[in-house]
Structure 1
Amino acid sequence: MTLTFELDPAITPVLREEILTLWADVSNAGGSVGFVAPVTVDEIRPELIKHFVSMAEGRTRLLVGRDGTGTVAATVFLAFNTHRLMLHWLWLYTVMVHPRHQGKGYGRDLLAAAEEAARGLDGIEAIRLTCRGGHGLERFYGSCGYKEVGRVPGAIRVAPGDDRDDIFMLLPLL
């Protein structure tokens, strides 16, 4: 089974709830997407609303991957830069694949679909993302063509005494 990807889907109540559930499930399974377990959809909702506001303002695009049942199984937000000297690259935020789909290659599929979407945007020459150290994510992104271009040691505090590096990754599109 593969995922079916859609860029800029209509934001319906069902989609909103599926993204919230995905985000909570990923976070509660130990995923590094801005929260630390345990977390509820009510705690995540304000962050999702921020993404939706950015989408409404034309600063962010949403890419959704649906499984064979049509359920949201993966998401990523593509965020444009607003600084006039950095308009040639965009950020990937909240890169998520549902835990029940881990190990199926869907993360690679999601990143490939995000790359394809970025290549279709005028003037975009690179994709940047950050990831939390301590999970080996930089190796995964590296295997997908991203290169580590910076690291801030201990920048992310997931718990008292548990600081992680903030790792910057880049994928040139040219």
Structure 2
Amino acid sequence: MPLTFTLDPAVTPALRDGILDLWTDVSNAGGSVGFVAPVTPEEIRPELVKHLAAMAEGRTRLLVGHDEAGNVAATAFFSFNTHRLMKHWVWLYTVMVHPKHQGQGYGRDLLAAAADAARGFDGTAAIRLTCRGGQGLETFYGSCGYREVGRVPGAIRVAPGDDRDDITMLLTLA
């Protein structure tokens, strides 16, 4: 069953808890969404609160995908540039699909829904995102139309002796 995507959903306790559970599960499955396993919801909660505060201030927008049971199964956050020379592109971050739904095309669906949403943002011509090297994410994003436009070697320290590249990807919207 396909996911149902909603841009700017009402932030209810159920949505907040669903995002927190998703973020925890993705992190603990090895996903590169700002944390390294093992992680608890309490460790992630302060970062989620920052995302929600940015949404309340209008600096960030949320795209959420629900599965057929109504559970939060995927998310992507848009962050808008405030610099007058960079308002024509947005950042996409905290891009997640629940591990139990991976391998079903939902990641591609999420990125397509994100591109569709961004096309509706006034003056937005491109989406940028970053990903952690060493997991093949740049290949996945490349297969979804993104191209690598920058790489900082060893910028992400996952663990002592395990430094990964920080890769910047760009999708030009047509």
User: How would you bin the TM-score normalised by the shorter chain?
Assistant: over 0.9
Q: Which residue of 1 aligns with 2:93?
A: 93
Q: How far off is 1:80 after superposition?
A: 0.5
- Amino acid of the residue matched to residue 139 of structure 1? T
Which residue does the alignment assign to 1:161?
A: 161
Q: Deviations over 1:10-60 (max 9, x none)?
A: 001111000000000000000000000000110000100111111111111
2:16 maps to 16
- The CA deviation at 1:156 is 0.1
Corresponding residue of 2:133: 133
CA distance in 1, matches of 2:109, 2:14: 23
The CA deviation at 1:84 is 1.3
Quote how far apart the aligned CAs of 1:169 are: 0.1
Partner of 2:116: 116
1:5 offset after TM fit, Å? 0.2
In structure 2, how many angstroms separate the alpha carbons of the residues matched to 1:112 and 1:16?
Answer: 23
Unaligned runs of 5+ in 1: none
Give TM-score, length-normalised by structure 2. Answer: 0.99
Deviations 1:69-101 (A, max 9, x none): 010000000110111110000000100000000
State yes or no: 1:73 paired with 2:60: no
CA distance in 2, matches of 1:82, 1:54: 13
Q: Paired residue for 1:149? A: 149
Matched residue pairs, number? 174
The AA in structure 1 aligned to 2:98 is H
2:33 corresponds to: 33
Q: Percent identity?
A: 79
Counterpart residue type for residue 32 of structure 1: S
Runs of at least 4 residues off by over 6 Å: none
Partner Cα distance (1:78, 1:36) in 2: 22
How far does residue 125 in structure 1 lie from its aligned partner after superposition? 0.4
TM-score, length basis structure 1: 0.99
